[in-house]
Structure 1
Amino acid sequence: MRGAAASALVLALGGIDDPEPPPPAVVPPAAAARGAAGAAALCGPRTVPEGAACVPLPAPGASLPEGGAAALSDPAGARPARAGTRGQAHEHIPRRPERPANAAAYMFPIGAPDAPPGFLLVEEAPAGAGALPAAGSVAAIGAARPEPPSWIGGIDIAATRGERVAALRLEGQEGKAEVVFVGALSGITVATAHDVREARDADRVRRYLLLHGHLDRPGPGVVAGARLDAGDVVGYAGETGSPGLVRLRLEARQIREGARIEELDPKRITDAAVTVPCDLRNVLPLRQGASL
Structure 2
Amino acid sequence: MKFAVGALFVVVTTSLGAAAGPLSPLRIRTVDVPRTPGDPVETACAEGMLPDGEACVHLPAEDEAEDAVIASNAHRERSGRWAIYDQIPRRPERPADYELYRYPVAPGLAGGRTVVSGYDLDRPNESQRRGATLRATGHGGVDLPGPRGTEIKLVALEHQQGDADVVFVGQLFGTSVVTRHTIREAGQLRDYVVLYGHLASAAPGLVAGTTVRDGDLLGFMGDTGSPELVHLHLEVRRVRDGLDIATKAGGQLMESAVSIVCDPRNVLPFK
> What TM-score do the two structures reach when normalised by structure 2?
0.65
Structure 1 distance, partners of 2:84, 2:165, is: 31
Structure 1 distance, partners of 2:202, 2:260, is: 24
Query: Partner residue of 1:194?
Result: 181
The correspondence of residues 73-222 of structure 1 with structure 2, limited to 5 A, is 81-86=73-78, 87=81, 88-112=83-107, 115-120=112-117, 152-198=139-185, 201-202=186-187, 204-222=188-206
User: What RMSD, in angstroms, separates the aligned Cα atoms of the two structures?
Assistant: 3.4
Runs of 4+ in 1 over 6 A off after TM superposition: 124-127
Gaps of 5+ in 1: 1-50, 70-79, 128-134, 136-150, 288-292
Judge conservation of contact 1:92–1:152 (CA < 8 Å) in 2: no
If asked which structure has higher relative contact order (CA below 8 Å, sep 6+), I would say 2
**1:172 maps to amino acid:** H
**2:208 maps to amino acid:** A
SS of residue paired to 2:99: helix
Structure 2 distance, partners of 1:115, 1:267, is: 33
Count of aligned positions: 200
Gaps of 5+ in 2: 1-21, 34-65, 119-128
Q: CA deviation at 1:68?
A: 4.7
Q: What fraction of aligned residue pairs are identical, expressed as a percent?
A: 37
Judge conservation of contact 2:145–2:230 (CA < 8 Å) in 1: yes
Judge conservation of contact 1:61–1:89 (CA < 8 Å) in 2: no
Judge conservation of contact 1:206–1:255 (CA < 8 Å) in 2: yes
Query: Partner residue of 1:13?
Result: none
SS of residue paired to 1:206: strand
1:244 paired residue among 210, 216, 228: 228
Q: CA deviation at 1:243?
A: 1.2
Distance 1:60 1:244, change over 3 A: same
**2:151 maps to amino acid:** R
